[in-house]
Amino acid sequence: MRRLLAVSLVMMTGLSWVWICEARGEGLEDNIYPVGKLKPVDSRLKVEVGQSAPDFSLPSLKGEEVTLGRYRGEKNVVLSFVPAAWTPVCSDQWPGYNIARAMIEKHDAVLLGITVDNLPTLYAWTKEMGDLWFPVLSDFWPHGAVAERYGILRSEGVSERALFIIDKQGIIRYIDVHDINTRPDLDALIGALADLSKP
């Protein structure tokens, strides 16, 4: 009888937890840390359109080291820096890119997502987003070093919300250091990718 009661207790505890989790929804929105309104831009760019993109190697969630230079001569590259995991705007920008894959690849481009968070944080955060098709890279250590080289590391230690397009020759062709509080629309990015193929 005691054993039956103990089993019942364990089952009921588990069941009630499942109910509560389901009632809360799927998790991501409930776990977003409210950051309030931030200074739109809080850094000074160190690169410009027309110059070679500084090369870098960063660890990805898949466990590999991704080097920007490996795409030279093969693919255009979109770098999407977002400020931080578990914050508003960032948490829906990438799910949006998740359904824009065909449009990005149509322009012979790859997308690299970068934040200054460490890999375990990025793992938990992106898992909540579902499967992302593009590599997610951690610019955690040395902290924000790549963001700093591009001139988009903010004073509080996170990166700007910024997009860079680098062509197959490794030249920066587009920069959007966006207001950190708002999401860049897809049109500008896709339009800039389309411009790459114009003579």
Partner 1 sequence: MKRAMILLVILLAGCAGAAPQIAEPPGMEAPKAIESLDIPLPRPSSEADAAYLGLEESTDDFRMDQIKAGVLVVEVFDMYCRFCQGMAPKVDEVYELNLRSGFAGEVKMIGIGRMNTPLEVATFKEKYNVKFPLFPDNDLSVTKALQAQDEGTPHFMVIKMEPGDRVQVVHSYTGAFEDPKAFYHVILERSGLRKE
Site string (121-160) toward partner 1, x via CB under 8 A: --------xx------------------------------
Residue (145 or 186) nearer to partner 1, CB = 186
Of these residues, 89, 90, 112, 116, which one is catalytic? 90
> How many Å apart are CA 128 and CA 124, to the nearest integer?
7
CA atoms within 13 A on the CB side of 72: 13
Among the listed residues 171, 63, 57, the one whose alpha carbon sits nearest the alpha carbon of residue 123: 63
Does position 195 interact with partner 1 (CB under 8 A)? The reply is no
Does position 9 interact with partner 1 (CB under 8 A)? The reply is yes
Residue (40 or 96) nearer to partner 1, CB = 96
Site string (10-49) toward partner 1, x via CB under 8 A: --xx-xx--xx-xx-xx-xx--------------------
Does position 7 interact with partner 1 (CB under 8 A)? The reply is no
Smallest gap from residue 17 Cβ to partner 1 (A): 9
Query: Could you say which of 41, 110, 171, 190 contacts partner 1 (CB under 8 A)?
Result: 190
Query: Could you say which of 32, 54, 88, 95 contacts partner 1 (CB under 8 A)?
Result: 95
Phi-psi region of 170 (alpha: psi -120 to 50; beta: other; left: phi over 0): left
Does residue 90 carry a catalytic annotation?
A: yes
Smallest gap from residue 93 Cβ to partner 1 (A): 7
Cβ-contact 145, 85 below 8 angstroms: no
Does position 186 interact with partner 1 (CB under 8 A)? The reply is yes
Residues contacting partner 1: total by CB under 8 A: 32
- Residues with active-site annotation: 90
